[in-house]
Structure 1
Amino acid sequence: MAAGDTSGDTQTANAAASPTPAPRPGPTPDRTTLAGLHRIVIVGGGAAGLELATRLGDTLGDKGGRKRHATVTLVDRARGHLWKPLLHEVAAGSMDVDEHELDYLAQAHWHHFRYRYGEMIGLDRARREVLLAATHDDEGREITPPRSVGYDTLVIAVGSTTNDFGTPGVREHAIALETTAQAARFNRRLVNACLRAHTQAGPVRPAQLHVVIIGAGATGTELAAELHRTARAVVAFGMDRVDAERDIRITLVEAAPRVLPGLPERISASVTKLLQDLGVAVLTGARVSAVQADGVRFADGRFIESELVVWAAGVKGPDVLRDLDGLEVSRSTQLVVTPTLQTTRDPSIFAIGDCAFCPREGHEAPVPPRAQAAHQQASHLLKQIPRRMRGQPLKPFTYRDFGSLVSLGEYSTVGSLMGFVAGRSMLVEGLFARLMYRSLYKMHERALHGWTKTALGSLARLITRRTEPRVKLH
């Protein structure tokens, strides 16, 4: 159920099943409003939303008897947070979710903000309320009722979803990697497929252990390399009837002329060579026309049989943003924002992270949907929201591109770092690139926990990793 007290939430009672229903109760009094405190609501507990809620709670919330300046509330439909760039490792089975997932209730308690469990389904801008759907458990019983959360400043940070471009069969037969649950589901299906092939009466059928990954951006490319290692590691745990080299096949598909089309061509060429050396089949310039139960069909008539299909091609804003009480959205269903990150039609509402269509001065394309952009936007609003509370003008957001890194598991890490020589990029790979890639996650952890807890957590995971299998087997 939702954390803590229900102050600030307006609960909608279910209508009584009688000819003369009883009057519906009025809204629960908002004690924070009565106290004259500014209400900051952040919808979405991803990298941007959770970092902002944590740091605002630390600076504006009630800490050790200090006078409160505002109430900070985080709303999310999940109960825990995992850094999204790690989802490919969860899917491949090389990461234990329980060691890295953060509990929103605990984080809210430690950092002086409130957590509300629920999914945003609408917005009432006139009353300044976020509308939340009811939540239910696995047996269908209601956990929290439909309700609303009032705000004075609203930050929408709901991230992005996979864009299937209307391709037939994607929703029915492919798995996206948007959430921890989806990544864990793919891993279970992969392990189950290996167990099935090992225990069945006949030999391993053609394509029984084939995986097709559609979309060769960072997620698809990293998953292909990670799966090459972990699938073989799973088979090595006693599944002697499966020949890893003969039976396991991974195909990476990209509609663009090369993998990692958004990164420099030299990085793309380096990654393609490494994947091909591993035995991953790389198909570029290949447009998928349909995903079927037994494989993938292409526009040119080709068909690839496959047991598992991952769809990692394209991103767009969640459908709820399409009609959010009149807020302007882009063609990709992202909320259009001004340089100050305020939505174009309501200055009390901000959007950050993947769900924001943020213009970038001097560039035709907007700020890219990357973790570094989300982190920078959260850091920017940490300073600007107090300015808004004081009635001061807001400063515009400026995005700094520090480059891109792509991790290919234990095989290699490659990327480009910006600004080393007169603003030009520098190609990095190997151990240095891997350390830089890992440092990005440590920066995210530091923003949430501080240096001490981040260091202790890293040490604990290092010790535990030496006593457990390197891959998830269940």
Structure 2
Amino acid sequence: MSKPVRIVIVGGGIAGIVLATKLGDTLGRAGKAQVTLIDRSPTHIWKPMLHTIAAGTRDVQQQQVIFLAHASEHGYAYEPGEMLGLDRERRRVQLGAITMPDGTMVLEPREVGYDVLVLALGSRANDFGVPGVKTHCHFIDSQKQAEIFNEALRARAFRSVARDEALRVAIVGGGATGVELAAELSRLLEVASAYGDASVRERLQLTLLESGPRILGAFPPAISASSQQQLEMIGFTVKTGTRVTEACPGGFVHDDGALAQADLMVWAAGVKAAEFLSGIGGLETTRANQIVVGPTLQSTRDDHIFALGDCSSLTPAGAERALAPTAQVATQQAEYLARHLPGWLAGKPLPDFAFRDFGALVSLSDYDAFGTLGRFGFFRGGFIRGRVAQLSHAMLYRRHQQSLHGLRKATLLWTAERINGWVQPKIRLA
């Protein structure tokens, strides 16, 4: 009797957990494959939601998926650990040691063998080597980082009230993360005003800095203009065409020498994969450390290594640039591989991956939302805004929940969230 194929998925973000769930439900439960998901975090959070966790407008306990429990329900195994290296000849993933916060060793460095490896390690903001960014700025690329920022935010808000001073926040990066975080911070303090100091929202002085000619550069100009107008209406300063040259304890220095003063600084600009992926195992990578893949999502130098989502770079035939690192791309790639990998393991050829652009959405908390309908559908190429766009944005997350838990459990989770919203505070207060 042949041994089950060892499928190792590294990274429990959107692409990784969707793929592990679907392969576990099919190949794993049938005993045809041993599916293992490796991630350094014990929980999964839908990445487009991280700005709400950072602001404290969503309950992280309700939104997180615990890998260990989810794995037992869906036929795959969860292996805690952080990938540090790759031995392609021996087909082994090298993991770092696991330690306690005080440095106590829990697990020594170890290796995990594979027959098929899927890299789904996501991405992070790119500091572009700007001095002081790593020292003085918060990043919102993971659940841990979002929670650290939220703790700092609550402490600064408390200090602002106690000392009767402004709460100055500066965000670099006018993409969806920076724009949505800015709006969410305004909403947070509006709600917080009902729990104490009624003037706490008025203390917020927020500056959004973008090096490009407009915010939301990936969206049509009309959406960029409308979003900037909304942010300015709620009292924020938006500076486009502004390159940051340094982050210092008091704020961001512009290329013209001016200083955007801030008590809290967030860096949400640029996208790159983890540093250790650069040239890992002799694989072809981009300047942003992404694994270069072909039309079947296999790496260009090893057919047994796939890469999905933000850590991969796929340029479709006839296209001038690679697919954007978005949740939509990651989800479609995971669904494609879950559908076709079993056949490939049985000797069938893999069809080319075809991305379908269903549009893009940006939500400015409860203030407004904007979106494009993409190239498919009856209203392709159109624009939506307001409640329709907000509902569409919310449905993206519900669809993700359904892909992980099925319709019944996803509905129960939504119901529980609604009930908790009625009986619990609307924001994180402690």
Q: Select 2:279's aligned residue among 310, 323, 328.
A: 323
CA radius of gyration, larger in = 1
| Structure 1 residues not aligned, in runs of 5+ | 1-33
SS of aligned partner of 1:398: coil
| Other-structure match for 2:292 | 336
CA-to-partner distance for each residue in 1:278-322, whole Å, 9 max, x for gaps?
Answer: 111110000000011111100111112110011000010111101
2:358–2:376: 8 Å Cα contact kept in structure 1?
no
State whether structure 2 residue 425 is matched by structure 1 residue 469.
yes
CA contact (8 A) 1:134 1:147 kept: yes
**Match 2:58 to one of 83, 90, 95:** 95
> Aligned AA for 1:327?
L
Q: CA deviation at 1:244?
A: 3.0
Q: Secondary structure at the match of 1:473?
A: coil
C-alpha separation in 2, matches of 1:361 and 1:434: 34
| 1:66-145 equivalent positions in 2, closer than 5 A | 67-145=30-108
Letter in 1 for 2:386: G
Distance, in Å, in 1 between the alignment partners of 2:414 and 2:200 is 35
- Aligned residue type for 1:244: R
- Superposed CA offset, 1:190-234 (max 9, x none): 11112122234xx42xxx411001000000000111111112332
> Partner of 1:405 in structure 2?
361
> TM-score, normalised on structure 2?
0.97
Q: Distance in 2 between matches of 1:452 and 1:80?
A: 21
The count of aligned residue pairs is 430
CA contact (8 A) 1:216 1:260 kept: yes
Aligned-pair distance for 1:235? Answer: 4.1
Moved over 4 A (4+): 420-424
The equivalent position to 1:441 in structure 2, one of 376, 393, 397, is: 397
Of 307, 326, 336, which residue of structure 2 is paired with 1:380?
336
Q: C-alpha distance in 1, partners of 2:200/2:289?
A: 45
- Which of 218, 232, 244 lines up with 1:288 in the alignment? 244
**Aligned to 1:254, which of 199, 203, 210?**
210
User: CA–CA distance in 2 between the matches of 1:289 and 1:306?
Assistant: 15
1:55 aligned onto 2:22: yes
In the alignment, is residue 216 of structure 1 matched against residue 179 of structure 2?
A: no
State how far apart, in whole Å, the 1-side matches of 2:380 and 2:24 are: 38
Identify which of 119, 122, 131 aligns with 1:156: 119
Cα distance in 2, alignment partners of residues 423 and 333 from structure 1:
37
Between the aligned partners of 1:421 and 1:451, the Cα distance in structure 2 is: 23
Q: Cα offset for 1:174?
A: 0.5
SS of the counterpart of 1:140?
A: coil
Moved more, 419-428 or 191-200: 419-428
Question: How far is 1:81 from its partner?
Answer: 0.3
Comparing 359-368 with 426-435, greater Cα deviation is found at 359-368
CA RMSD of aligned residues (A): 1.4
Give CA-to-partner distance per residue, 1:135-188, whole Å, 9 cap, x none: 111121122221111111100000001100000110000001001111111111
1:265 match: 221
Matching residue of 1:226? 184
For the 8 Å contact 2:95–2:110, the answer to whether it is kept is yes
* AA at the equivalent of 1:196: R
Inter-partner Cα distance in structure 1 for 2:15 and 2:144 = 20
Structure 2 SS opposite 1:123: strand
The alpha carbon displacement at 1:385 in A equals 1.3
The one-letter code sitting in structure 2 at the alignment partner of 1:87 is L
- Given that 1:195 and 1:239 are in contact with CA atoms closer than 8 Å, whether structure 2 keeps it comes out as no
